[in-house]
Structure formats: structure tokens, C-alpha cells
């Protein structure tokens, strides 16, 4: 008679035998290629360009993974990641600093040529994962040395995750060629000139958990260059772009929306922010049917919507606060309708020139449920080009100071002033 204990033991032995047949040790490893098997050395001195490319080409024969172990792998040339191939290092979350141990690529290609061939070209259904890229010849000066884009996409369904690029002049180009259904996740970089460029995305791109921050130089002269010339996120034509949990600091412009050859795009941005820069958001043009929407975001400092824009721009549950020379927090022009709903403005007109918080000359404006927290400062000026404005249910600290210069339809009511 089999006891209960013997039955449990038999089941456990059976399960162990069954699942061990599918363990890592028994899975066929012919689709994983280590760069060291092709002669790569992580000594920081050997040029590994040929070894890496040979491994990538071999993996492309059937599709597979090229594995980069821990080490510092110098690459004097450029790499092409073929379709259906993943270049993967050891990280399962992005590294924080250039001196972190792990799978590090030392990039030397393209020095001095901003428009040259990118360091990494990624093709359809390719991936980059668990890698650190560092430019050992870059200098902490104003200006720094120009380099081409670190990563350029060519084709749909490209993945970038768990990647740190410490000091790129330009980080990710998913706009020169069509890159639909891309996925960028857990990407860190101190992009000195341009961060992430999106264009020609004709089918739903996704960007999540991106941190553009001084991982390389926290206070050197190069920061002045980025504050004067740098742009963190550039969006052109993109049809349904979802952006979540992104952050940038110290850029001249945080988020910019433009129209290139294929026209403008529409973008949904949440839980994101631009810190310490004169312009958090600049809108040159967005799609008229969808536009751009910011939800639960934080902006330091201003919003600049240009005359060229004709699409809707929305800010919901978003906080705004100034840098020392901020005058107006938002300057609005163009044919598009601009929305501020449930937002708060902590201060503005820091130099004391009498600038309003919102200087509106867009054709449409809605401000509802917002808190203007600076007491005694002019909150809104409605310019002559405003055709329609609704300003209701807001809190204006220290009095309602709204200047109306338009003959358009303006509805102001149910606001408090204490």
C-alpha cells in the first residue's frame, strides 16, 4: 500500500524529471552566439568591430541572439544589427554610470561628423538589450565633439530595452527611416545635443521609462552646451505614439513637435516631465484630428505654441513652475485649441516685468479647474487673435487679474480669488 508520503515523493520526482528536460542546460543553444567565440576581447583596447559583425551576421542566418559578456569592448567601426537578431548584454535593468561593470561598448566611430553613419544600425524586428555604450573620446567642453546618432532604426518592430548610453551627442534616431511599432523601454542617456527623434512612425510607437539625465558629467562645461542647444524629445509624423514615465533635465527644449516631409503626428504623454530648462514644450505643428495630450506631468518651465500649429494641445493635471528668468509660463499662438484642465501654476513673471502666466493668442482656449498660485500677479492675457475662450472654475490667488483684448466669444465665470 502506497503511503501519502510515497505518493508525494513520486509526484515530485516525476515533475523534476519532466521539467529538467526543458531546463536551460537541455535547450538547444545554436541560436545564441557569444562575441567571444568570434574572437572579441573585452580588454578596452582590441578593436572588436569585425568580431561583433561576424557574430551578428552568423545569427542572422536563422535569427538569434548575439551575447556580449561583461567587459569593455572597443569598437572603432560601425555595427549593423540584422533583422531578427538581438544584441544582448548582461543587464536586466539599465546601468546608472559609465563605470558600472557589465557589457560595455566603447564607441569611436564617426568622431567629429554629426551627420555620419550611426554607431548601431538596427533593422526590422531587431533588438538591443542589456548594453552600455560609452564614447571614450568625448570631451567635457562647450562645445563637445559632434558624433552621429548612436542608434538608428530602419524598419518596424525594433526593440531597445535596459540600455545606458552615457554621453552620446545624439542618442536614438527612429525618424530618418520608417520605424513603426517601435518599443523603447528602460533607456538612460546623457544626450548632449539630441535625445530621441521620432518620425515616419505609421503605426503606434511606444516609449516608456526613459531618463535623460547627466549620467556622465553632472556639472562640467558640456552642460552649458546642452542647456543652450539640446533637445530631449523630437516628434514628427507619428500615428498614435504612447509616451509614459519619461524625464529630461537641463535641455533647451524638453519636448518639441514638428512637421517634416510626412507631416505632423499625434502623441499621448503621461507621468512625464521636463526639468530645469527655458522651454519644456514647444509645439510647431501637431495633427489636427488628434494633436498632443499631456496628463499627470510636471514642467519647468514654459510652453511655447507657435503660429504654425493648427491642432489641439492639452494639459491635464500638470504642474508648472519657473526657472529664474521665466516671464510667461505659456505663450500660445496658432489656429489650434489649447486646454489647461486641473493644472497648477506655482509662479511666473520672476523678473517682475508684469508678464502674465498665460499669454494667449491661439484661436481657442479652455482653462478649467486650475490653480494660479502666485498672489497679485496677472494670470491671463487674451490677445486679439483669440476667437473663443472659456475660463471657469479656477482659483486665482490674490484677485482675478485677466486682461481681455479680444472681441471674440469669451466666457469667464465661477472662479474664486482667494
All 3 cell numbers of residue 19?
A: 521539467
pLDDT of residue 26: 34
What is the chain's length?
418
pLDDT > 60? residue 277: yes
Q: How confident is the model at residue 27 (pLDDT cuts 50, 70, 90)?
A: very low
Is 385:364 a contact under the CB 8 Å cutoff? no
pLDDT > 60? residue 214: yes
pLDDT of residue 29: 58
Rounded mean pLDDT of 46-52? Answer: 98
pLDDT > 80? residue 13: no
pLDDT of residue 133: 97
Q: Worst-scoring range by mean pLDDT, 3-7, 38-42, 259-263? A: 3-7
The pLDDT tens digits of the residues spanning 299-323 come to 998 999 999 999 999 999 999 999 9
Q: What percent of the chain has pLDDT over 70?
A: 93
pLDDT of residue 9: 45
Is 290:311 a contact under the CB 8 Å cutoff? yes
pLDDT > 80? residue 270: yes
pLDDT > 90? residue 28: no
Q: How confident is the model at residue 30 (pLDDT cuts 50, 70, 90)?
A: low
pLDDT of residue 100: 74
pLDDT of residue 21: 36
Q: How confident is the model at residue 407 (pLDDT cuts 50, 70, 90)?
A: very high
Predicted TM-score (pTM) of the model is: 0.92
Rounded mean pLDDT of 356-385? Answer: 97
The pLDDT tens digits of the residues spanning 216-263 come to 998 899 999 999 999 999 999 999 999 999 999 999 999 999 999 999
Q: CA-based angle 72:74:79, to the nearest 5?
A: 115
Q: Which domains does the chain have, with CATH numbers?
A: 28-162+171-188 (2.160.20.10), 230-418 (2.160.20.10)
User: Which one has a higher pLDDT value, 297 or 25?
Assistant: 297
pLDDT of residue 289: 94
Cα gap 88→274, rounded to integer Å: 30
In three-state form (DSSP H/G/I as H, E/B as E, the rest C), the secondary structure along the chain is CCCHHHHHHHHHHHHHHHHHCCCHHHCCCCCEEEHHHHCCCCEEEEECHHHHHHHHHHHHCCCEEEECCCEEEEECCCEEECCCEEEECCCCCCCCCCCCCCEEEEECCCCCCCCCCCCEEEECCCEEECCEEECCCCCCCCCCCCCCEEEEEECCCCEEEEEEECCCCEEEEECCCCCCCCEEEEEEECCCCEEEEECCECCCEEEEEEEECCCCCCCCCHHHHHHHHCEEEEECCECCEEEEEEEEECCCEEEEECCECCECCCEEEECCEEECCCEEEEECCCCCCCCEEEECCEECCEEEECCCCCCCEEEECCEECCCCCCCCCEEECCCCEEEEECCEECCCCCCCCCCCCEEECCCEEEEECCEECCCCCCCEEECCCCCEEEEECCEECCCCCEEECCCCEEEEECCECC
pLDDT of residue 219: 86
User: In sequence order, what are the residues at sequence separation of 6 or more whose Cβ sits closer than 8 angstroms to the Cβ of residue 280?
Assistant: 253, 254, 255, 273, 274, 299, 300, 301, 302, 303, 320
User: In sequence order, what are the residues at sequence separation of 6 or more whose Cβ sits closer than 8 angstroms to the Cβ of residue 325?
Assistant: 278, 350, 351
Rounded mean pLDDT of 134-158? Answer: 98
The pLDDT tens digits of the residues spanning 148-172 come to 999 999 999 999 999 999 999 999 9
Rounded mean pLDDT of 5-20? Answer: 44
The pLDDT tens digits of the residues spanning 171-190 come to 999 999 999 999 999 999 99
| Other Cβ atoms within 10 Å of 291 Cβ, number | 25
pLDDT of residue 96: 80
pLDDT of residue 101: 85
Q: What percent of the chain has pLDDT over 90?
A: 89
Amino acid at each position: 500500500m502506497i503511503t501519502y508520503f510515497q505518493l508525494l515523493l513520486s509526484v515530485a520526482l516525476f515533475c523534476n524529471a519532466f521539467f529538467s528536460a526543458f531546463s536551460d542546460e537541455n535547450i538547444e543553444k545554436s541560436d545564441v552566439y557569444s562575441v567571444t567565440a568570434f574572437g572579441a576581447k573585452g580588454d578596452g583596447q582590441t578593436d572588436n568591430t569585425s568580431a561583433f559583425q561576424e557574430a551578428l551576421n552568423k545569427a542572422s542566418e536563422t535569427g538569434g541572439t548575439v551575447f556580449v559578456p561583461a567587459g569593455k569592448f572597443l569598437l572603432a567601426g560601425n555595427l549593423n544589427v540584422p533583422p531578427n537578431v538581438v544584441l544582448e548584454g548582461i543587464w536586466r535593468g539599465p546601468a546608472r554610470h559609465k563605470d558600472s561593470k557589465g557589457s560595455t561598448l566603447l564607441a569611436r566611430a564617426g568622431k567629429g561628423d554629426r551627420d555620419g553613419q550611426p554607431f548601431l544600425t538596427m533593422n526590422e524586428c531587431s533588438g538591443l538589450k542589456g548594453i552600455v555604450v560609452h564614447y571614450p573620446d568625448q570631451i567635457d567642453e562647450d562645445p563637445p565633439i559632434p558624433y552621429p546618432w548612436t542608434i538608428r532604426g530602419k524598419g518596424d518592430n525594433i526593440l531597445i530595452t535596459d540600455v545606458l548610453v552615457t554621453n552620446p551627442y545624439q542618442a536614438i534616431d527612429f525618424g530618418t527611416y520608417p520605424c513603426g511599432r517601435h518599443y523603447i523601454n528602460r533607456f538612460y542617456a546623457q544626450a548632449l545635443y539630441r535625445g530621441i527623434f521620432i518620425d515616419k512612425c505609421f503605426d503606434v510607437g511606444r516609449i516608456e521609462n526613459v531618463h535623460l539625465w547627466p549620467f556622465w558629467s553632472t556639472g562640467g562645461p558640456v552642460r552649458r552646451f546642452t542647456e543652450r542647444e539640446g533637445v530631449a524629445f523630437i516628434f514628427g509624423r507619428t500615428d498614435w505614439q504612447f509616451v509614459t514615465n519619461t524625464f529630461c533635465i537641463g535641455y533647451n527644449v524638453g519636448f518639441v513637435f514638428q512637421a517634416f516631409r510626412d507631416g505632423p503626428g499625434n502623441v499621448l504623454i503621461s507621468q512625464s516631465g521636463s526639468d530645469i530648462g527655458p522651454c519644456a514644450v514647444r509645439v510647431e505643428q501637431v495633427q489636427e484630428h488628434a494633436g498632443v495630450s499631456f496628463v499627470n506631468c510636471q514642467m519647468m518651465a514654459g510652453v511655447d505654441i507657435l503660429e504654425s500649429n493648427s491642432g489641439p494641445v492639452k494639459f491635464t493635471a500638470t504642474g508648472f513652475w519657473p526657472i529664474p528668468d521665466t516671464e510667461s509660463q505659456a505663450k500660445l499662438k496658432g489656429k489650434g485649441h489649447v486646454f489647461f484642465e486641473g493644472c497648477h501654476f506655482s509662479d511666473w513673471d520672476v523678473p517682475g516685468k508684469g508678464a502674465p502666466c498665460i499669454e494667449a493668442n491661439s484661436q481657442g482656449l479652455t482653462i478649467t479647474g486650475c490653480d494660479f498660485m502666485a498672489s497679485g500677479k496677472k494670470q491671463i492675457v487674451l490677445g486679439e487673435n483669440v476667437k473663443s475662450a472659456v475660463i471657469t472654475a479656477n482659483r486665482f490667488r490674490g484677485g482675478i487679474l485677466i486682461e481681455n483684448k479680444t472681441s471674440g466669444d469669451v466666457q469667464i465665470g465661477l472662479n474664486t480669488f482667494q
